[in-house]
A and B are shown apart, each in its own frame.
Chain A
């Protein structure tokens, strides 16, 4: 024990010599940065955590940012193009259940994170090589490998956040991480097209090689994330020694047999989740060409508007989170979000109005839904089944995204954007139907989903009494 204390002291001071000599001010600031119990150190960790997710979110939407280039250079129709998104989702149908288990039981959080991010890096490199070698199947393989790392990395990121910030600034940290993810997507949307044209002019021509090199350079962000994963692993280990804190765990227990206990409202929430997210992500994946062809936007303007959903959700997610926390009434908020998405897609489909209006609405709707829908699961499911419920929800969300991505590409190739939008409207209205049903079922069963915060507190009090 004493030895450990000494080691901790040594680690903190950065060496016994340094602790004794030198100007007093500088080591003071430095030690605050190095002391895991201090806020300054936690902020450093927070920065690393944010960087951790940046690479994977940056690269996730690479195909959307380069849709025209990919389809042209790889001679791919939209159906094939959308397979790039589908291949990302397929592994996650299973991995949503396994991610927590792998982190807790097999790798541990540090190695888990490093391994997942290695998958992301390798995936992105293979994706880029597919371009360089002009082999579309290699690109698909790259996206598959990328997908294996991508979602599990998010789980690892959350686990780190809980382990470092639980009982302190946890909600803020979650919010910031999400914002950082959105910033990654936004930067990608607006940067990759420009990067492609730069490489095109330096290589002298457009083509698969240009595409591959562009993607490879985009992959640098993943290396950045890998470095922060390594740094984070080191700091986490160091903190463990100094603070005697345990290695972070997701604490998720997945029992697939729990699924049979899921109630009707929970299934309705799953349907809402699938039907809603499929009209956001696959649409963004196909959006750029839509904005250039239908609304006559330039390539840059189309990229900008295609990323507006992410831009809005970066600052709005925390705000809406606060709003839903203060007011409760989750179902009503979900209803608002779904109805707004419906209006937004109707505008995109049937009007020539400036699509900024519709996309901003979609951004608001998306932020609101995330804050109102996901917490509802916690009201419905006992705590020991929460891991299974969330895992299942993510899993079918990914399943939905994979299938709908393919269908969306197919529809676009044969029937065009108007029909695709009508298809999306159909999906949102299915979500709307499910929200209405959820409201009715919840009302009929006397459920607690639509309580206001005040009612919830009263319930809690009456329980404790």
Chain B
């Protein structure tokens, strides 16, 4: 795991030299990965035989590139992201094959040679730990049997589709729930796309661009199995040529948008610029997200995992084929000393998913203005005062010499 602990103005890659490298790469990057100021974003839930399926296609069209995000809960929840270097690429779906047990090749982005980058994130399991079992187990604690997200039933996504707000929510609960833990609860994946850059009002206020999508995972109302249960989520991604991608922890001086969080975690697929997942290591235990309800979020390193030991996603299989190697990592939220999910039976965590170089935070204009005034005024005063004094002294010495 890469850890950078350098002083730097705002977010940035590990050191200066990668920064330089990045800008060099950027200038030579394929147009699909170059990033655009604004995009024409459309959300679409394609239907088959008149009935909508749980598949959300986000298409972000720029001047000479198109990004496709395919979110789906066919199988386990997952997203396939594809970047192309033309504004005319399209998604083609072979529904009969996609809904069959062997969906290979059912999902294609055409023309095929326009694809510059593709990858996927698969959300496989909801984890739960007993944090009170101290000595024996390492933090986060003794694991309970996880909930497999492939065994969840999901709502009809068209109900929560907001075409104007560019958002949609997949909400689910276990099909088989003998304990009734999810009787009043649900796990939700809220997906949000953006036509331009900006920052949402709710913490952690990640900076987004037109090249990115935000995912908010929220666990609400589910009954935990212990007094002090910590929850986590297992995430899988595709293995790259060189093995598993790494999670970069970036330390920064700037916590203006996420008070008291001085770190940004990034999962980078291959060398920059390709695709990335980015999040602040913070989750919230109340709907009113703020510092009082913030939980820490620990990410484990990625490690290779056999495909057959993971719940499968139809869209990932359909796009990438069956012979894929996976890497998994887990995110756990909170610590035993609290605050925690147990406070209000609420947990939310957000990540940004995108193609191209990750957005880089800079010091806000307000801070720069205050600093300029705060340092400028006394400085000018000192300068001005000093000159006046010097002039006076000169004049008075002249006066004395005449005298």
Contact = CB atoms under 8 A, between A and B. Distances in A.
Find the residue from B259, B367, B373, B382 having the highest chain A CB count within 10 A.
B259
A349 B378 CA distance: 19
A429 B292 contact: no
Contacts of A293: 255, 260-262
B116 to A, nearest CB: 36
Interface residues of B, number: 35
B6 interface: yes
Contacts of B254: 416, 418
A416 B6 contact: no
Interface string A332-370: 000000000000000001111100000000000000000
A352 B370 CA distance: 21
B387 to A, nearest CB: 11
B374 A294 contact: no
B337 A417 contact: no
B251 A416 contact: no
A350 B256 CA distance: 12
Interface stretch (A73-81, A108-116, A139-147): A73-81
Contact of B292 (A75, A417, A437, A440): A75
Contact of B389 (A77, A289, A440): A440
Interface string A422-465: 11011001101100110110010000000000000000000000
A71 interface: yes
A436 B378 contact: yes
B377 A415 contact: no
Nearest to B336: A206
A418 B256 contact: yes
Interface in B361-375: 363, 367, 370-371, 373-375
Contact of A425 (B7, B255, B337, B371): B371
Nearest to A339: B378
A417 B389 contact: no
B95 interface: no
A394 to B, nearest CB: 26
A429 B292 CA distance: 31
A290 B260 CA distance: 7
Contact of A418 (B6, B338, B367, B375): B367
Contact of B370 (A72, A353, A422, A436): A422
A276 B62 CA distance: 53
Interface string B192-229: 00000000000000000000000000000000000000
Contact of B291 (A350, A351, A412, A440): A412
B292 A350 contact: no
A414 interface: yes
Contact of B259 (A72, A351, A353, A412): A412
A413 interface: yes
Contact of A351 (B253, B261, B337, B370): B253
A341 to B, nearest CB: 13
A310 B259 CA distance: 27
Interface residues of A, number: 37
B253 A418 contact: yes
Interface string A1-32: 00000000000000000000000000000000
A46 to B, nearest CB: 42
A439 B385 contact: yes
A344 to B, nearest CB: 14
A111 B258 CA distance: 51
B260 A417 contact: yes
A217 B375 CA distance: 45
A419 interface: yes
A417 B259 contact: yes
Nearest to A206: B337
Contacts of A437: 381
A293 B253 CA distance: 11
Nearest to B383: A436
Interface in B254-277: 254-262
Interface class of chain B by DSSP: loop
Nearest to B337: A206
B322 interface: no
Interface class of chain A by DSSP: helix
B255 A294 contact: yes
A352 B7 contact: yes
Given A351-B7, A352-B6, A416 B337 contact: no
Contacts of A352: 5-7, 251, 253
Contacts of B373: 426
B46 interface: no
B253 A413 contact: no
Find the residue from B255, B256, B382, B389 having the highest chain A CB count within 10 A.
B255
Contacts of A414: 259
Interface string B228-264: 0000000000000000000000010111111111100
Contacts of B370: 422-423, 425-426
A423 B251 CA distance: 22
A128 to B, nearest CB: 21
Contacts of B363: 418
Interface in B347-400: 363, 367, 370-371, 373-375, 377-378, 381-382, 385, 388-389
B255 A417 contact: yes
B256 A413 contact: no
Contact of B253 (A76, A350, A412, A440): A350
B292 A71 contact: yes
A350 B308 CA distance: 48
B290 interface: yes
A406 B385 CA distance: 35
B185 interface: no
B12 interface: no
B311 interface: no
A426 B7 CA distance: 22
A408 B134 CA distance: 37
A367 B370 CA distance: 28
A14 to B, nearest CB: 55
A429 B378 contact: yes
Contacts of A418: 253-256, 363, 367
Interface string A294-337: 10000000000000000000000000000000000000000000
Given A416-B255, A422-B370, A443-B389, A77 B7 contact: no
Contact of A436 (B290, B291, B337, B385): B385
B338 A206 contact: yes
20 contacts: A77-B290, A78-B292, A206-B337, A293-B261, A294-B253, A350-B9, A352-B253, A412-B260, A416-B257, A417-B260, A418-B253, A422-B374, A425-B375, A426-B373, A429-B374, A430-B374, A433-B378, A436-B378, A437-B381, A443-B389
Given A416-B260, A417-B255, 16 more contacts: A77-B290, A293-B255, A293-B260, A293-B261, A351-B7, A352-B7, A353-B7, A413-B259, A413-B291, A416-B259, A419-B367, A422-B367, A423-B370, A425-B371, A436-B385, A439-B385
